[in-house]
């Protein structure tokens, strides 16, 4: 196929001892597909990170996400490096979306899977990952595939896909939330929770936390906010998600609020599970919570995170909280069963969250600073081996 692949002059402030190793722009003039791939660091293994498809995607955003993956994989002890990719996507029929994904896949094929292993992200799911794998012709080029796409026998075990639709990221966020609540002496049973973003991650955070006994009192998506101090009817919520309806179409008892009103709602735990920089200068001063658990990748800039931490809010950074997705990817890469995958996530998330919070309290530092310090130590150690 015809297309362009080229290097880019990246802002010097993002270049450091960790990376990035590769920054690639691709363009297919036939269909006007534009995409980015940033492979940040591969000291621990091939760069791991999802494919994001949004209309306002930027090179800087992809780099920030790739760096988060570098630190995340190191922190939870996975043999992966950090990477991220993205396609500028303004919407359209599936036929066109498939062309975009497969054009992108073919243009970056030379990097997969030795330097980059893809996965689902915002705007992509198992369907898009199937298209990607079909275009690269290599099942190892991505995780988050449909369960039976690449089934084969390896050492007597069935190697299968583990779609993110099983809820691995949300499960990990729930485990991290429970640990954080325990650290502050909050009983997760009855703890009030608000969730911003109700896609795959947000829904499974809701599911697993309510199973633990938490009281989710507010849910927001792009359509608006539903609020109920007594929580929501789980069956009605599940029906809403199954039918792919907006949260304001919830049929149970709840107040319907404007999107900007979400941040004013007091809750023990706030979980941003939507988009990049969703917590920003416009809403940061409205937030009333004890704990923020970052289910989304880079939901706020580090300067805002530090400001909220100094106000007394305990913040569990994305590189710990949402690592369930990449742990699931590793489980799929190794051919583990679904049950073994969930057990691995629980063990690794609990361990990393506890370690970071223990050191954060001891040193009186923002948990992100501790997490980054621990992750960098592992990368530098392996790089010197």
- Work out the number of other CB atoms within 10 angstroms of the CB of residue 84: 31
Instruction: Give Cβ neighbours of residue 384 (< 8 Å, ≥ 6 apart).
Output: none
> Maximum Cα–Cα distance for the chain, whole Å?
59
User: Do the Cβ atoms of 149 and 163 come closer than 8 Å?
Assistant: no
Parallel/antiparallel/unpaired status of strands 192-196 and 157-159: unpaired
Please list the residues that pair with 192 across neighbouring strands: 215
DSSP character string of 343-375 = HHHHHHHHHHHHHHHHHHHHHT--HHHHHHHHH
Sign of CA dihedral 350, 356, 360, 362: positive
DSSP character string of 53-105 = EETT--HHHHHHHHHHHHHHHHHTT-S-EEEEEEEE-----HHHHHHHHHHHH
Instruction: Give me the catalytic one of 48, 84, 290, 348.
Output: 84
Please list the residues that pair with 87 across neighbouring strands: 35, 53
As given in the structure block, the two tokens for residue 25 are 């722009």
Instruction: Give Cβ neighbours of residue 306 (< 8 Å, ≥ 6 apart).
Output: 366
Annotated active-site residue 376? The verdict is no
Active site residues: 84
């Amino acid at each position: 196929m015809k297309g362009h692949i080229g290097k880019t002059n990246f802002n010097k402030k993002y270049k450091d001892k960790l990376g990035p190793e590769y920054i690639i722009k691709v363009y297919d003039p036939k269909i006007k597909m534009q995409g980015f791939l940033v492979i940040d660091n591969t000291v621990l293994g091939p760069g791991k990170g999802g494919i994001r498809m949004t209309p306002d995607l930027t090179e800087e955003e992809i780099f920030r996400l790739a760096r988060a993956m570098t630190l995340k994989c190191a922190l939870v002890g996975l043999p992966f490096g950090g990477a991220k990719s993205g396609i500028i996507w303004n919407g359209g029929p599936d036929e066109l979306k498939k062309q975009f994904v497969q054009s992108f896949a073919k243009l970056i094929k030379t990097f997969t899977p030795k330097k980059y292993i893809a996965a689902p992200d915002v705007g992509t799911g198992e369907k898009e990952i199937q298209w990607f794998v079909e275009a690269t012709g290599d099942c190892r080029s991505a995780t988050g595939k449909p369960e039976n796409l690449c089934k084969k026998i390896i050492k007597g075990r069935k190697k299968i896909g583990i779609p993110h639709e099983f809820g691995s990221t949300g499960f990990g966020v729930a485990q991290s939330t429970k640990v954080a609540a325990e650290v502050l002496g909050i009983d997760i049973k009855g703890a009030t929770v608000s969730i911003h973003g109700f896609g795959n991650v947000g829904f499974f955070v809701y599911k697993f936390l309510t199973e633990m006994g938490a009281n989710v009192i507010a849910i927001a998506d792009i359509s608006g906010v539903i609020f109920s101090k007594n929580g929501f009817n789980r069956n009605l919520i599940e029906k809403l998600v199954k039918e792919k309806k907006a949260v304001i179409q919830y049929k149970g008892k709840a107040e319907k609020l404007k999107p900007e009103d979400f941040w004013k709602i007091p809750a023990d735990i706030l979980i941003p599970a939507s988009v990049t920089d969703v917590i920003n200068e416009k809403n940061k001063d409205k937030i009333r919570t004890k704990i923020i658990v970052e289910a989304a990748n880079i939901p706020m800039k580090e300067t805002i995170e530090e400001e909220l931490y100094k106000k007394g809010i305990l913040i569990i950074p994305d590189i710990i909280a949402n690592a369930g997705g990449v742990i699931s990817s590793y489980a799929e890469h190794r051919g583990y069963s679904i049950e073994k995958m969930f057990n691995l996530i629980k063990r690794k998330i609990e361990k990393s969250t506890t370690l970071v919070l223990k050191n954060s309290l001891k040193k009186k530092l923002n948990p992100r600073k501790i997490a980054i310090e621990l992750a960098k130590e592992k990368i530098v150690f392996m790089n010197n081996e």
